[in-house]
Structure 1
Amino acid sequence: MTGTADVIATKAVPAATPAAGAPPPAGLAPYACDPARTRGRQHPEAAPANRSEFQRDRDRIIHANAFRRLEYKTQVFVNHEGDLFRTRLTHSLEVAQIARTLARSLRLNEDLIEAIALAHDLGHTPFGHAGQDELNACMRERAPEAGGFEHNLQSLRVVDELEERYAAFNGLNLCFETREGILKHCSVAHARLLGEVGQRFLDRSQPSVEAQLANLADEIAYNNHDIDDGLRSGLITLDGLLELEGFARHYRGVEAQYPGLPAKRLTTETIRRMINAFITDLTASTAGRIADADPRSVDDVRGSPALAGFSEPVRREAEELKRFLFANLYRHFKVMRMTTKARRIVRELFNAFLDEPRLLPPDYRRRGGTAQARAISDYIAGMTDRYAIREHRRLFHMDESI
């Protein structure tokens, strides 16, 4: 196998299954994922003694090297630009908190949705989307047969293959349901290489409700918290935000309830209320869709249309917010200056390593061709912002030590 989807594609080994027709665990809806009914792991393991299968997955993710590296990977602002801006790690924790709230309200499996949320960015490159886009461009230009680079597929590759913590297998050997949730989107070409976890992209079926909601929890977190970071940085303005119907409505509500509240607390209270409003709407709208579809099992969920989603008015507000952030924050000239530097660092590292693989650490040297390009993309994708900057200096600045 080649390409970003170069992961273990063996059939999952099912865990011990309760008797057919057995009720779900106390408190869980019949359409929730039951850890006792997991589709299993790629390598057989004894059942955990004092935790569920999904709790084990969550714990393995938290202890992974890739999870710790998220502390020094960009969300919007590069690591050295300030101590209080979000990183991939703090973002992942915020997504997990929102996801657990959604799961509890809808009687879903909180441990599974938390595991998905904590793992969703494990494959992200340094320098945020700029790093991802540049690494994809490098792979497509210099190793087109490898299938490019996509951080979502890389997250699955990390947990299936790249983590090296266990004697019996590569990766973290997570349950099918966790891996399914990590793989939010995938091309048909890549899906064919992924075995069972890629099958839904060929069948056009849905993942679990937990997986669907984890994806929307990610959207709620980054939309609203990027407002906070954007205001803190001075790159977006309150006047601009007040042109957005959703933000203005909550802002005016706080202003009326707390006259004279200092500006910083006024905006943070506004953001808090926006997050709550998105969560409340998503919970109610999803509950309504579930009631209409009346799924009696996870398999019914997989055969239904998407069950998780906002109401139409709130979806429009979310889209308006995304457009505003794209135009005014992500494309702000100061952000663009940093992302241009970041893309140059990624490209120059990739080209240097591909032209002379002996510059690579021994573990990343391959025989050449596609395998070598993929090993280089694994190495670069695993870098933190500051490590990538240091590695670039080591290669391109005469005064830097080896």
Structure 2
Amino acid sequence: MVKNLREVTEAFETEYLSEFAQPSRKSVGRREAEEECDIRTAYQRDRDRIIHCKSFRALKEKTQVFIVKDDFFRTRLSHTFEVSQISRTIARALKLNEDLVEAIALGHDLGHTCFGHGGEDVLNQITGHFRHNEQSLRIVDVLERDGRGLNLTEEVRDGILNHTGLGIPTTMEGKLVRIADRITYLCHDIQDSVSAGILKENDIPRKFLAVLGDAHSRRVNTFVKDMILETSLQIQKGNHFDIYQSDLIREVMHELRNFMFKNVYHAEVCSIEKEKASFIVTTLFEYFMENPHEMPKEYCARLEKEEKKRVVTDLIAGSTDAYAIRVFQTKFIPSPK
């Protein structure tokens, strides 16, 4: 009997992938059962649904670190693509499921707010609890496709939710993306910080340059090779299946993260822009809480089913930088006739 293309791919996964990988045919499944596709595996379908959803397209106009517009600074979308590329490189070397890794990586930041972590922080303060990973899951479960959600597989949902925070992904693929996300933003934020004039090359401690390399590509390569080699070594030793880094690289990554928070993320330039963003987000949130029926019609329609505060939060979180600024200007800045 001739197999369809999905079954051919599933058979290949069974034969080729590591015993620690998550094959498509062994997925726990979706919250709502669906007929299988003849061409794509379950994780390939998840990847495609994420790429084609509105929230994914909005990432191109959401801040990564620097709100100041520059064609060469990373946006949330370019960050997402870099996480996907790095994760897939590592997954292929470790014989993990690349399609699952890609789906998780592409969906992990869908819930990020306008103005980057500044927007996330102020929404958390206003509402009492807001986390972008939880919002990412809410988007794929509830908000997309006019309230029907994307109905993703449990493994992709788990990887998206637990790519940050206290939870740990249940699959090797999810664990891989969790570390690759940190590697990605640390490396490209150094590059963008130098381009923005916040850092100079000689500001970067010599220890980081000596261990990781003196250029963006070398630093990424060092992290990637270390994860591949150390994970392979630990598994060969019979240790628990996990994604590993060597002690030296893990220590340097931790120190580098502290350095970036002190010298970039909490630096004066970023703090000033964060204050502006916080003012816009706070003002818009309060305005729509007082005038909920001035929200776009798709959000107004949900007021009958969900709490007003929840709907306003979804609107602000889903806004791009440009949309938030435009609405703020329309509502609060006089326009000459």
Gapped regions of structure 2 (runs ≥ 5): 1-6
Structure 1 residue 294 displacement after superposition: 6.0
Which residue identity lines up with residue 40 of structure 2 in the other structure? Answer: R
Whether the 8 Å contact between 2:133 and 2:160 is mirrored in structure 1 is: yes
Whether the 8 Å contact between 2:212 and 2:222 is mirrored in structure 1 is: no
Greater helix share, structure number: 2
Whether the 8 Å contact between 1:99 and 1:114 is mirrored in structure 2 is: yes
Alpha-carbon spacing, 1:161–1:369, altered in 2? closer, same or farther (3 Å): closer
Tell me, yes or no, if structure 1 residue 247 matches structure 2 residue 198: no
Note the 1:374-385 alignment, pairs <5 A. Answer: 374-385=310-321
Which digits, 9 at most, give the CA deviation of each residue in 1:52-86, with x for residues without a partner? 111111111110110000000000111x5211100
Structure 1 residue 285 displacement after superposition: 1.7
Whether the 8 Å contact between 1:153 and 1:186 is mirrored in structure 2 is: no
Could you tell me which residue of structure 1 aligns to residue 99 of structure 2? 111
Could you tell me which residue of structure 1 aligns to residue 186 of structure 2? 223
Q: TM-score with structure 1 length normalisation? A: 0.77
Distance of 2:161 and 2:47 partners within structure 1: 16
Distance of 1:68 and 1:185 partners within structure 2: 20
Aligned residue among 46, 60, 67 for 2:35: 46
Structure 1 residue 359 displacement after superposition: 2.4
Alpha-carbon spacing, 1:369–1:337, altered in 2? closer, same or farther (3 Å): farther
Structure 1 residue 289 displacement after superposition: 3.0
Whether the 8 Å contact between 2:43 and 2:99 is mirrored in structure 1 is: yes
Structure 1 residue 292 displacement after superposition: 3.8
Could you tell me which residue of structure 1 aligns to residue 145 of structure 2? 164
Distance of 2:264 and 2:165 partners within structure 1: 29
Distance of 2:165 and 2:310 partners within structure 1: 18
Whether the 8 Å contact between 1:130 and 1:339 is mirrored in structure 2 is: yes
Alpha-carbon spacing, 1:369–1:400, altered in 2? closer, same or farther (3 Å): farther
Structure 1 residue 284 displacement after superposition: 1.6
Whether the 8 Å contact between 1:23 and 1:30 is mirrored in structure 2 is: no
**More off after superposition, 320-329 vs 148-157:** 320-329
Aligned residue among 113, 118, 128 for 1:125: 113
Structure 1 residue 282 displacement after superposition: 1.0
Distance of 1:369 and 1:237 partners within structure 2: 52
Could you tell me which residue of structure 1 aligns to residue 16 of structure 2? 27
Could you tell me which residue of structure 2 aligns to residue 3 of structure 1? none
Q: TM-score with structure 2 length normalisation? A: 0.91
Which residue identity lines up with residue 137 of structure 1 in the other structure? Answer: Q
Which residue identity lines up with residue 176 of structure 1 in the other structure? Answer: E
Aligned residue among 333, 352, 376 for 2:268: 333
Whether the 8 Å contact between 1:244 and 1:321 is mirrored in structure 2 is: no
Distance of 1:175 and 1:33 partners within structure 2: 12
Which digits, 9 at most, give the CA deviation of each residue in 1:199-230, with x for residues without a partner? xx5xxx75100000001111111000011100
Tell me, yes or no, if structure 1 residue 318 matches structure 2 residue 253: yes
Alpha-carbon spacing, 1:181–1:375, altered in 2? closer, same or farther (3 Å): same
Q: Secondary structure at the match of 2:14?
A: coil
Aligned residue among 113, 126, 131 for 1:150: 131
Which residue identity lines up with residue 72 of structure 2 in the other structure? Answer: L
Could you tell me which residue of structure 1 aligns to residue 55 of structure 2? 66
Structure 1 residue 164 displacement after superposition: 1.1
Q: Secondary structure at the match of 2:145?
A: coil
Which residue identity lines up with residue 174 of structure 1 in the other structure? Answer: L
Alpha-carbon spacing, 1:33–1:376, altered in 2? closer, same or farther (3 Å): same
Q: Secondary structure at the match of 1:219?
A: helix
Distance of 1:238 and 1:104 partners within structure 2: 33
Structure 1 residue 334 displacement after superposition: 1.3
Tell me, yes or no, if structure 1 residue 86 matches structure 2 residue 21: no
Structure 1 residue 368 displacement after superposition: 8.5
Distance of 1:354 and 1:32 partners within structure 2: 46
Alpha carbon RMSD of aligned pairs, Å?
Answer: 2.4
Distance of 2:191 and 2:303 partners within structure 1: 47
How many residues align structurally? 327
Whether the 8 Å contact between 1:156 and 1:179 is mirrored in structure 2 is: yes
Tell me, yes or no, if structure 1 residue 391 matches structure 2 residue 327: yes
Could you tell me which residue of structure 1 aligns to residue 217 of structure 2? 272
Work out the percentage of aligned pairs sharing the same amino acid: 41
Which digits, 9 at most, give the CA deviation of each residue in 1:363-384, with x for residues without a partner? 2235589711010010111111
**More off after superposition, 308-317 vs 97-106:** 308-317
Distance of 1:120 and 1:328 partners within structure 2: 26
Aligned residue among 177, 186, 192 for 1:214: 177
Which digits, 9 at most, give the CA deviation of each residue in 1:336-393, with x for residues without a partner? 1111100111111111111221222232235589711010010111111111111111
Which residue identity lines up with residue 112 of structure 1 in the other structure? Answer: L
Tell me, yes or no, if structure 1 residue 356 matches structure 2 residue 334: no
Whether the 8 Å contact between 1:216 and 1:309 is mirrored in structure 2 is: no
Structure 1 residue 37 displacement after superposition: 1.0
Distance of 1:101 and 1:247 partners within structure 2: 23
Alpha-carbon spacing, 1:221–1:400, altered in 2? closer, same or farther (3 Å): farther
Which runs of 4 or more aligned residues in structure 1 lie more than 6 Å from their structure 2 counterparts after TM superposition? 185-188
Alpha-carbon spacing, 1:336–1:186, altered in 2? closer, same or farther (3 Å): closer
Structure 1 residue 246 displacement after superposition: 2.4
Which residue identity lines up with residue 262 of structure 2 in the other structure? Answer: A
Distance of 1:58 and 1:49 partners within structure 2: 16
Structure 1 residue 291 displacement after superposition: 3.1
Q: Secondary structure at the match of 1:171?
A: coil
Higher relative contact order (CA 8 A, sep 6+): 1
